[in-house]
Structure 1
C-alpha cells in the first residue's frame, strides 16, 4: 500500500513537471474537428436536441409557469419562492432558479439545433435522411423559440452557433414568432408524415403544421393559422390523426403515441433511479424521465407544489352527457373527493380512498375554503399503475393532441367570420365526451366565449391555459372570481423578466417593459 502510494506521488510529480509536454487532446473526446463527419454523427446531434426535453427546466419547471400561474392552478408549497412567484405575482428575483432553468434549457436546445444546422449540410450521407434530420432540427428550434416568444416575448434570436465574443441584441416578440414560423414552415416541407416503430416520437409534418398554426393563432393571424392547420384537419393529416375512444388513454404510459398524439415528449424510466437534478448537471447521468409527478401529486405521495382550483371541476359540471351522466373527462383530469362519482369513499388516491386520507380544505384558496375538499391535477400522475411517484416517470407528455388541433382550427375559422363552419370541429371533441352538439346560431363573440369553456374542459392541466389567456386578452383582475391571485396581477406579468445575469454579461439585452 505504501509503495503504491509512493509511486503515485512520483507519477504526479513527473506529470506536473512535464505538464506542457503531456497536455495533449484526448482523441476519444468529440470535438468540432472530429465529430461532424458521418451520418451517425448527424443522427446523434439531432438526438441531443431531443434530450433537451429531459432537462429540469423543461421536464418540470415549465409547468409552474404555464399551469400554476394561470387560473387553473395554485400552490400551497412549503417552498415560499414558488408561491410568491408563480402564484401571487410577486416576482422580486429575476434570477429565480425555477424560471431561469427554463430560459437556459430553451437556449441550450437552440444551440444544439444550430450546431446540427451549421454542420450536417456538409456531411456526405443519404440526402433524404439528411433532409429529415435538418427538418427535425428546424422543428425543435422553432419549438424552443415558440416557448421563448410566449413566456418572455422579447429575446435574442440566434440562427448560427455563437462565438464567445458574440453579444446578441434583443429581438422583439413578433420577430421571435416570425423565426419560429419560418422554422416550422421549413420543417413541414422536409419532415415525413410518420415513422417506423423504431423512430416513433420524432417530429413529423403534422407536428410542424400544428406548431405553425399555434404560432399564427397566438398573434391573431387567423387566416394563416387556418391554412397551417388545414393539412391536419381537412388534408392528408385527417387520415393519420383522430381522437382516441377513451379520453384517459391520452395520459397513461401504456397508451403513448396513439393516433391522437401530434407531438409528445418521449420519457423513459432510467436503468437506475436517477434524481432529476442530474438533468441540469452531469450529462453522463441524464434523467430521461419526467419529474413533474411528485410535484403535482397529493401529500404525502408528493409535494403538491402545484394543484388545481375547484373552479375547474365546476366548469365540467355545468352540463351533463346525452345519457344524463357526468362529463367523463373530470375523473381523468382530477383527483378529488368525487373522482369516482359515488364520492370520497370510492375515489381512490394511490390505492387508498380519498375519505381515508382525510384531506383537509386547502388554505389560501377562498373559492374552496369551507365548502369543498382540495383538488389535484391528475393527467401527469401515475396513480393508475403505482402507489407512489418517482423523479423519473416514463409517462410521456402529450404536448400537442389532435383534440387541441381541432379546437385551434375552430378558433381560427371563427376569427375569420366562418363561425358556422367551426361548429363541427368543436362538436367532434364534445362527442367523444358524450356531450350534445353546441346550440346553433351563436355569434362570433358568443362562439369564442364557448370555445374558452371547451378548451378548459378538454385541456385543463396540460400546460396550455396561460397562452390561451394571453391570446384572448383575459389576463387581469377579471379572473379574480376564479383565481384570487389575480388581484395582484399587473400588465408586466404577461411576460417574464429577462434573467438579470444575462443582462449583466450582455449590455445589448433589453429588459421587458415594467420590470
Structure 2
C-alpha cells in the first residue's frame, strides 16, 4: 500500500476497501476517493477514526451513490415516458427499458461503492475505543446514520420491496457489521444475502440510534439528528408504519431548523445547502460526482451547461400541473451530444452544485400522507401541509385532501429526485406494464460478486 500527497491512496491487496463481498483481482490498483486518507489497518488515533468517517461521506458523493446513481437509476426504472435516455451509454438505456443484465457495470458499481462505504463505517465503529469520551457517542451516531442510509439504498435496489410481504424470506443484501481490513478478514465478507426483514431491522436500529445521539447541528454535508429522522421517515413509510412516519417527519418540521425556500427554483443548483436541505451532497469544482461521463448534472443538463444532455423530458408525459404552478414550467430547451433539441429539467442544471438528498418539502408531504393513512393529525392537519407546499409553487389551494391526492402532490414535487419508484413500490402501483414486484424493477446481484462469493444467490429474472 502507498499514500499520496494528493490525498488519494491506492490499495493493491484484495481488501474490502472496494467491496465487502466481491473483491477485484489482486493485480489491480484501486483509487479511493479523497476524504478517506487512512489505510484501514493503520487507524491509531481519533483523528484517524474521523478521517475514516469522512471517507464514508466522500463515498456518498460518488456517482455510484448519491452523486448520481442512487437518484438516477430509480428514475430510469420508474419511467413511464416522462423522460428518455438518449445518450450512447447502452447500460443506462437498458435500465430505462427494464432490460438490465447481471453483468451490468452500473449494478456492480452501486454494490461495490455501497459496501465500501459500509466498511468505512464498520472501521469507525470498531475503533471507537480510540475516540475521547466527549466525542465517542456523536461519532458512533454519525457513522450509524451513514450505514443506515446506505443499507436502505442497497436494500431498496437489490431486494423486493417491503410491501411485497414475505419479508422474513425475501432476500436483500448481506449484512456485514464487522470491518474487513486485512487478508485474514476476507471470509467475514463472504456472507449470504440477509432477508429484507433483517436488513430493515438493522437500518432502523442504526437510524434510531442516530436520532437519539446526534446533535441538532453539524457541518454542511454531514448528518444531524434531523437528517436521521428524515431518512427514518422514509423507512417507516416503506414498511407501511405511517403513524411512525408521521412522527419522524414531524420531528424535522417542528424543529424549525429548516424552511421552505421562498421560491421553488431556489431549492436547486445552490453552492451551499438551501434553507430546506435536511441532508445534501456537497460538490465543488475540485470534488464532485463527475462532469464528463457521470453525475446527475452530466446527464440531466443540456450541452450549453457543460453536460452531455443525455436525458430529455417529454413535457406531455410529466405529471399534470396547474397553469400557474411553477413546477410545471421548471424546464428549459437545449440540446445534447445525441440530441438536436429537447427539454431538460431545471433541477440538475448547473455544475458543482449541492445535490439535495432529502428536502423539507418531502417532510410536509410525508407527514400529510402518513397522517391521512394512519388516521392521525400529528403536528398539523394534512390539508395544511399539502397547501403549504402548493402555495410555494403558486398552485391553487385545495379545499380537501385524500391520501391519493397527497401522493399525486408528492410525485409533482419530487419529480426526477429518485422518489417515484419507491412511492410506487410501497403503494403496490405498477410502472407501466411492470407490476411493483416485477423482477426487472430489482437490480441483479452483480455476476462478479456471485462468482467470488458462492453464498450469494441471484435475483429471479437474471
TM-score, normalised to structure 2's length?
0.80
Aligned to 2:163: none
Cα distance between partner residues in 1 of 2:158 and 2:288: 36
1:420-443 CA distances to partner (integer Å, 9 max, x unpaired)?
Answer: 932111111011112232222x5x
| 2:300 pairs with 1:296 | yes
Contact 2:217 / 2:224 at 8 angstroms: preserved in 1? yes
Q: Which runs of 5+ in 1 are unaligned?
A: 1-28, 278-289, 321-325, 337-348, 362-373, 383-392, 480-485
Aligned to 2:438: 491
Cα distance between partner residues in 2 of 1:273 and 1:147: 18
Following TM superposition, by how much is the alpha carbon of 1:31 offset from its aligned partner in structure 2, in angstroms?
4.7
Aligned to 1:80: 90
Contact 2:126 / 2:178 at 8 angstroms: preserved in 1? yes
| 2:280 pairs with 1:229 | no
1:346-375 CA distances to partner (integer Å, 9 max, x unpaired)?
Answer: xxx59xxx9xx9x767xxxxxxxxxxxx32
Contact 1:475 / 1:494 at 8 angstroms: preserved in 2? no
1:197-242 CA distances to partner (integer Å, 9 max, x unpaired)?
Answer: xx222101100001111001012111221222221234xx1x2122
Following TM superposition, by how much is the alpha carbon of 1:497 offset from its aligned partner in structure 2, in angstroms?
1.3
| 2:447 pairs with 1:509 | no
Give the number of the structure whose residues are more often helix, by fraction: 1
Cα distance between partner residues in 2 of 1:331 and 1:263: 26
| 2:61 pairs with 1:64 | no
- SS in structure 2 of the partner of residue 511 of structure 1: coil
Aligned to 1:193: 216
Following TM superposition, by how much is the alpha carbon of 1:193 offset from its aligned partner in structure 2, in angstroms?
0.6
Aligned to 2:260: 243
Aligned to 1:331: 329
Correspondence 1:175-194 to 2 at 5 A = 175-194=198-217
1:452-480 CA distances to partner (integer Å, 9 max, x unpaired)?
Answer: 2211221111121111121221124xx3x
Cα distance between partner residues in 2 of 1:311 and 1:179: 42
| 2:112 pairs with 1:90 | no
Q: Which runs of 5+ in 2 are unaligned?
A: 1-36, 160-171
1:227-265 CA distances to partner (integer Å, 9 max, x unpaired)?
Answer: 22221234xx1x2122111211111224x3222110001
Cα distance between partner residues in 2 of 1:131 and 1:291: 34
TM-score, normalised to structure 1's length?
0.72
Correspondence 1:267-282 to 2 at 5 A = 267-270=283-286
Cα distance between partner residues in 1 of 2:287 and 2:239: 43
When the two structures are aligned, how many residues end up with a matched partner? 402
Cα distance between partner residues in 1 of 2:451 and 2:311: 32
1:481-508 CA distances to partner (integer Å, 9 max, x unpaired)?
Answer: xxxxx47998112321111111111121
Contact 1:213 / 1:226 at 8 angstroms: preserved in 2? yes
Cα distance between partner residues in 2 of 1:507 and 1:33: 27
Contact 1:295 / 1:306 at 8 angstroms: preserved in 2? yes
Change (3 A) 1:201 1:251: same
| 2:150 pairs with 1:123 | no
| 2:178 pairs with 1:160 | yes
Cα distance between partner residues in 1 of 2:449 and 2:42: 31
Cα distance between partner residues in 2 of 1:70 and 1:273: 23
Correspondence 1:350-369 to 2 at 5 A = none
| 2:394 pairs with 1:431 | no
CA RMSD, 1 decimal: 2.8
Aligned to 2:29: none
Change (3 A) 1:224 1:271: closer
Cα distance between partner residues in 2 of 1:409 and 1:231: 10
Change (3 A) 1:426 1:514: same
Contact 2:38 / 2:51 at 8 angstroms: preserved in 1? no
Aligned to 2:59: 52
Change (3 A) 1:490 1:299: farther
Contact 1:456 / 1:465 at 8 angstroms: preserved in 2? yes
Contact 2:211 / 2:229 at 8 angstroms: preserved in 1? yes
Cα distance between partner residues in 2 of 1:89 and 1:500: 18
